[in-house]
């Protein structure tokens, strides 16, 4: 009962406003990718309604692109589902990192939030959580704002995205620029710079030799592990205390 | 109009995408995390962001190959410096888009 009455005192209006405002770079990027996806999916024979249902059920850009190309080349249920699973395994790491900020949150909210974990929402929410001006409700609104933008733009693409010139206003670069800036926010010391460098270089190297996107998980896990060991080594312990 | 075969595939995709998103959150948010895990997870965001973005800048194609002099990388350098100096997300996104648009026209 106590927690219930606390829930009722939450001011949802500022929460919704903050979440939606924070989501804008993601929405911009999704708009570009979503339109492109809609056009491709429609050319592969999907009806805009089917595109919408797919975006609603899956909500994962790269997996959806791959699945559509597999569908149009006649692949069956299992290959598509297994590929999707592999492509989206990286969310395990993101979900784990976010768990720190979701201690003892009601499982219904967790269920709703987990659905919206993407590369983009993860990066944005985690940065905001660090800055302390953020909470799980705002994160939830951000996730679902991005979700609506994704569903809307993929369906719009299915109806006639080909009429919008590709590459208009550099919109294709929105997500890369966003990731670059969020990466800058994460470089909070020499150790983070080193582990980011290791992760980036490893990712490039692995992406060249291993097909698919396994490079994201492999490179991140190795780089984070090296980061932990470097922190434990005496050289960095001294440096961090010194600075 | 909805093709049933497609619907079944989408539901399958939805389930295998949702579980990795939900499981760590549901499992880890219910217990005290060990110190080593907290320290390890602390490095994950910087590592993941770098692992996501760097291959987009210097590789292309399928199968991927190294392609160093792409607009993506060229634009990333001033965009990154701008982010370091201003720490403004909005400014960085707008500048990156603008430069990428310019690069597409002039280069």
Answer yes or no: do B3 and B37 share one domain.
no
Answer yes or no: do A116 and A182 share one domain.
yes
Answer yes or no: do B63 and B52 share one domain.
yes
Answer yes or no: do A202 and A182 share one domain.
no
- Per-residue pLDDT at B33 exceeds 60: yes
**Number of domains present in the structure of chain A:** 2
The per-residue pLDDT for range A5-63, each reduced to its tens digit, is 455 577 889 999 999 999 999 999 898 889 889 988 988 889 999 999 999 999 998 89
Distance CA A200, CA B46 (A): 10
Sequence-distant (≥ 6) Cβ neighbours of residue A46 within 8 angstroms? A54, A68, A71, A158, B6
Name the least confident of A4-8, A36-40, A106-110, A219-223. Answer: A4-8
Answer yes or no: do B96 and B45 share one domain.
yes
Answer yes or no: do B51 and B89 share one domain.
yes
Q: Which residues of chain B does A112 touch, with a Cβ-Cβ cutoff of 8 Å? A: none
The per-residue pLDDT for range A194-215, each reduced to its tens digit, is 999 999 999 999 999 998 888 9
The full DSSP string for B48-97 is HHHHHHHHHHHEETTTTEE--S-HHHHHHHHHHHHHHHH--HHHHHHHHH
Answer yes or no: do B6 and B23 share one domain.
yes
B101 Cβ under 8 Å from any chain A Cβ: yes
Please indicate, yes or no, if residue A45 is contained in any of the structural domains: yes
Q: Which residues of chain A does B63 touch, with a Cβ-Cβ cutoff of 8 Å? A: 211
Answer yes or no: do A92 and A22 share one domain.
yes
- Per-residue pLDDT at A119 exceeds 70: yes
Residue B75 tokens, joined: 């634009």
Distance CA A153, CA A142 (A): 17
Answer yes or no: do B7 and B40 share one domain.
no
Nearest residue to B75 via CA among B51, B97, B105, B52: B97
| CB A66 within 8 Å of CB A53 | no
Please indicate, yes or no, if residue A5 is contained in any of the structural domains: no
Interface contact B7-A227, CB threshold 8 A:
no
Mean pLDDT along residues A61-82: 88
Q: What are the b/e assignments for A217-241, b being 16+ CB within 10 Å? A: bbbbbbbbebbbebbeeeebeeeee
Distance of CA A42 to the CA centre of its chain: 24
Give B34→chain A minimum CA distance, Å: 11
Please indicate, yes or no, if residue A121 is contained in any of the structural domains: yes
Answer yes or no: do B43 and B68 share one domain.
yes
DSSP structure class, residue A10: -
The complex's ipTM works out to: 0.92
Give yes or no for a cis peptide into B63 (omega within 30° of 0): yes
Answer yes or no: do B13 and B37 share one domain.
no
Answer yes or no: do B48 and B3 share one domain.
no
Interface contact B96-A176, CB threshold 8 A:
yes
Residue B72 lies in domain: 33-106
Q: Which of residues 29-48 of B touch A (CB under 8 A)?
A: 29-30, 33, 36, 38-48
Answer yes or no: do A104 and A170 share one domain.
yes
Residue A220 lies in domain: 188-243
Residue B80 tokens, joined: 């990154």
Which pTM value belongs to this model? 0.83
Answer yes or no: do B97 and B66 share one domain.
yes
Residue A15 tokens, joined: 């929460």
What are the φ/ψ torsions at residue B80 (nearest 5 degrees)? -65, -45
Answer yes or no: do A196 and A160 share one domain.
no
**Mutation for B interface: A86, A120, A170, most B CBs within 10 A:** A170
Answer yes or no: do A103 and A168 share one domain.
yes
Answer yes or no: do B10 and B41 share one domain.
no
**Number of domains present in the structure of chain B:** 2
Adjacent-strand bridge partners of B60: B65
Q: What mean pLDDT is reported for chain A?
A: 88
Answer yes or no: do B76 and B93 share one domain.
yes
Distance CA B87, CA A221 (A): 27
């Amino acid at each position: 009962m106590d927690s219930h009455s606390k829930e009722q005192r939450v001011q949802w209006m500022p929460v919704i406003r903050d979440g939606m405002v924070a989501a804008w770079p993601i929405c911009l990027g999704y708009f570009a990718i979503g339109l492109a996806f809609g056009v491709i999916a429609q050319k592969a024979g999907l009806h805009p309604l089917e595109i919408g249902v797919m975006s609603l059920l899956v909500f994962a850009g790269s997996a959806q692109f791959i699945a559509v190309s597999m569908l149009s080349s006649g692949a069956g249920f299992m290959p598509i589902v297994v590929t999707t699973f592999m492509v989206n395994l990286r969310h395990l790491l993101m979900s784990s990192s976010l768990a720190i900020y979701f201690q003892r949150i009601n499982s219904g909210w967790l269920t709703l939030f987990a659905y919206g974990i993407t590369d983009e929402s993860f990066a944005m929410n985690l940065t905001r959580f660090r800055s302390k001006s953020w909470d799980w409700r705002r994160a939830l609104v951000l996730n679902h704002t991005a979700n609506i933008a994704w569903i809307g733009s993929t369906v719009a693409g299915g109806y006639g995205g080909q009429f919008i010139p590709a590459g208009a206003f550099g919109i294709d670069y929105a997500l890369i620029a966003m990731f670059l800036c969020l990466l800058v926010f994460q470089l909070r010391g020499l150790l983070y710079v080193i582990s980011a460098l290791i992760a980036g270089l490893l990712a490039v190297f692995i992406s060249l030799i291993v097909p698919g996107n396994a490079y994201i998980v492999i490179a991140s896990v190795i780089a984070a592990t090296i980061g932990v060991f470097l922190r434990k080594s005496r050289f960095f312990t001294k440096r961090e205390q010194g600075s | 109009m909805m093709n049933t075969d497609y619907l079944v595939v989408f539901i399958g995709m939805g389930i295998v995408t949702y579980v990795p998103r939900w499981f760590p959150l549901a499992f880890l948010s219910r217990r005290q995390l060990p110190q080593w895990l907290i320290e390890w997870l602390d490095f994950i965001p910087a590592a993941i962001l770098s692992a996501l973005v760097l291959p987009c800048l210097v590789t292309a194609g399928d199968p991927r190959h190294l392609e160093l002099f792409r607009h993506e990388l060229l634009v990333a350098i001033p965009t990154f410096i701008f982010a370091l100096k201003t720490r403004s997300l909005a400014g960085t996104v707008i500048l990156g888009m603008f430069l990428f648009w310019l690069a597409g026209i002039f280069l």
